[in-house]
């Protein structure tokens, strides 16, 4: 069957776009001939607003985490009466109301069977004004959710964990299986297939005996990558890969700093992060939802570094509670902690095994299967109603003998 699916994300943080693109990829693979509209809601606002939203987030994430914590927690306050909560709600609604007409224009022109969104920016005005029959679903990109993601006007929610589902129930958001499902965080189709350690190391040019450590600051290149790398300067028999993502300033700085140290490799974006996850003995990552979901799918031992207050801290707490990751508390002693973990053996094996148990590499496929089932049910219901309006078919009279 063919479907028309609209996907919207906000580029304030790369994970929301990555999740939307994963859904698009899976839809085109599972339902050939279907049409997918995939757009950034920030494309509908003036450039200065887009710049302000994106750069404010990046600046706070990289330089002022305490400010982000205050903003995030206040905006997540259930009463909505805290200073930042009221400020955010007012600005959010005002901006959305001014530009939602352009979003609705594109939606009406596309005429979707269903709409899936991976960020709440601009959604309240859309939910107020959308009058077409196509349902609007929210797709979570973290293991716990934010107050604005739990807007009861959505037709359904796909959340990252059972704990997030409990948040919805605590808010008395609809909880039937037709409205709330915890399939996991949607990631690219390529993570469904495991890459062996041997194959990954062959691609990266790493021999079997070398200890390989991956340190990633995520797509935004945040976190103390340099401090962590400093703790491994003397580990010359190891291979240490630093992933700076889109933070080109950090990449240039670290490349200059570690040029004399041949065992430390500095990258921006890498072609296939799967190979690095699969080849590494230990992976140190910032706990953003998408990075965690991708890493879990490859089942490496994970050490979580410097969670940003708010959603990253919640992701960190969730994975620690599940036993699927460990926490690096003292960045300056990272090399020492890694060496101790490698000597222990059992602890890393347990974490790796648990990561595989809670991973959900086919989350996007399950989300789309659920959505398309609902579309088919709606189509069948529409046909039945049309038949009822036409009345029973008349049987022609018998011919005279």
Average pLDDT over residues 51-66: 66
Q: Flag whether 396 is in a domain.
A: no
Other Cβ atoms within 10 Å of 70 Cβ, number: 17
What is the DSSP code (8-state) at residue 12? S
| Alpha carbon distance 130, 125 (integer Å) | 8
Dist. CA 14–CA 7, nearest whole Å: 15
Q: Which of 78-82, 150-154, 198-202 has the lowest mean pLDDT?
A: 78-82
- If asked whether residues 152 and 234 sit together in one domain, one would say no
Mean pLDDT of the chain: 87
Which of 93, 151, 148, 116 lies closest to 310 in space, CA to CA? 148
The residue that leads in pLDDT, 156 or 131, is 156
345 in the same domain as 376: no
Q: Does residue 30 form part of some domain?
A: yes
132-136, 279-283, 391-395: least confidently modelled range = 391-395
Residue 398 lies in a domain: no
Residue 31 maps to a domain: yes
CATH of the domain at 231: 3.40.50.2000
pLDDT digits (tens, 9 = 90+) for 156-183: 999 999 999 999 988 888 767 678 999 9
**Is residue 265 over pLDDT 70?**
yes
354 and 365 belong to one structural domain:
no
Residue 290 lies in a domain: yes
The band of 9, judged by pLDDT with boundaries at 50, 70 and 90, is very high
Q: Which two structure tokens, joined as six digits, stand for 284?
A: 């140190």
pLDDT at res. 401: 45
In this structure, the answer to whether residues 374 and 351 fall within a common structural domain is: no
Please state whether beta strands 136-139 and 114-117 pair in parallel, antiparallel, or not at all (unpaired): parallel
Given a cut of 60, is residue 361 above it in pLDDT? yes
Residues 130 and 160 in one domain: yes
Q: Count the helix, strand and coil residues of the chain and give each as a percent rounded to the nearest 5.
A: 50, 15, 35
Instruction: Catalogue the E-assigned strands of 112-231.
Output: 114-117, 136-139, 156-158, 180-181, 211-216
Could you tell me if 368 and 350 lie in one domain? no
> Are the C-beta atoms of 275 and 203 separated by less than 8 Å?
yes
Are residue 109 and residue 119 in the same domain, yes or no? yes
Judge whether 164 lies within some domain. yes
Same-domain pairing of 83 and 162: yes
Residues 308, 373, single domain; the answer is no
Q: Which tens digit of pLDDT belongs to each residue from 177-208?
A: 678 999 999 999 999 988 899 999 999 999 99
Residues 250 and 354 in one domain: yes
Whether residues 233 and 351 fall in one domain: yes
- Looking at the domain assignment, is residue 392 inside a domain? no
Q: Which domain holds residue 300?
A: 189-358
Domain count, the chain: 2
pLDDT on residue 146: 86
Q: Do 366 and 336 share a structural domain? A: no
Contact criterion met (CB below 8 Å) for 265 and 240: yes
Residue 78 pLDDT more than 80? no
115 part of a folded domain: yes
Give the model confidence (pLDDT) of 19-58 as tens digits. 999 999 999 999 999 999 999 998 888 777 766 666 666 6
Count of CB atoms within 10 A of residue 224's CB? 17
């Amino acid at each position: 069957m063919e479907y028309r699916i609209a996907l919207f994300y906000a580029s304030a943080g790369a994970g929301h776009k990555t999740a939307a693109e994963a859904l698009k990829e899976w839809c085109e693979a599972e339902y050939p001939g279907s049409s997918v509209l995939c757009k950034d809601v920030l494309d509908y606002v003036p450039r200065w607003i887009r710049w302000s939203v994106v750069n404010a987030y990046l600046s706070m994430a990289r330089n002022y985490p305490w400010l982000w914590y205050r903003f995030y927690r206040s905006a997540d306050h259930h009463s909505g009466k805290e200073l930042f909560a009221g400020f955010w709600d007012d600005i959010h609604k005002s901006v959305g109301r001014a530009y939602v007409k352009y979003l609705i224009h594109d939606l009406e022109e596309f005429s979707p069977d269903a709409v899936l969104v991976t960020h709440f920016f601009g959604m309240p005005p859309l939910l107020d004004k959308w009058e077409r029959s196509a349902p609007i679903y929210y797709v979570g990109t973290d293991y716990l959710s934010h107050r604005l993601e739990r807007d009861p006007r959505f037709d359904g929610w796909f959340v990252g964990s059972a704990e997030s589902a409990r948040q919805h129930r605590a808010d008395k958001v609809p909880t039937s299986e037709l409205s709330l499902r915890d399939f996991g965080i949607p990631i690219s189709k390529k993570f469904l297939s495991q890459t062996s350690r041997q194959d990954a190391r062959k691609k990266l040019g790493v021999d079997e005996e070398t200890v390989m450590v991956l340190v990633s600051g995520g797509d935004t290149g945040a976190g103390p990558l340099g401090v962590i790398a400093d703790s491994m300067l003397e580990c010359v028999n190891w291979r240490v890969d630093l992933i700076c993502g889109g933070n080109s300033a950090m990449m240039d700085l670290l490349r200059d700093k570690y040029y004399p140290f041949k065992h430390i490799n500095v990258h921006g974006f890498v072609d296939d992060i799967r190979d690095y996850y699969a080849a590494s003995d230990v992976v140190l990552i910032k706990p953003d939802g998408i990075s965690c979901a991708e890493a879990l799918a490859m089942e490496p031992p994970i050490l979580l570094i410097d969670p940003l207050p708010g959603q990253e801290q919640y992701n960190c707490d969730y994975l620690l509670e599940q036993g699927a990751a460990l926490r690096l508390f003292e960045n300056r002693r990272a090399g020492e902690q890694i060496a101790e973990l490698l000597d222990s053996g059992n602890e890393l094996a347990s974490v790796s095994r648990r990561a595989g148990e809670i991973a959900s590499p086919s989350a996007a496929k399950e989300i789309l299967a659920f959505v398309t089932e609902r579309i088919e049910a709606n189509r069948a219901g529409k046909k039945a109603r049309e038949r009822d309006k036409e009345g029973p078919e008349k049987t022609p009279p018998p011919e005279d003998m």
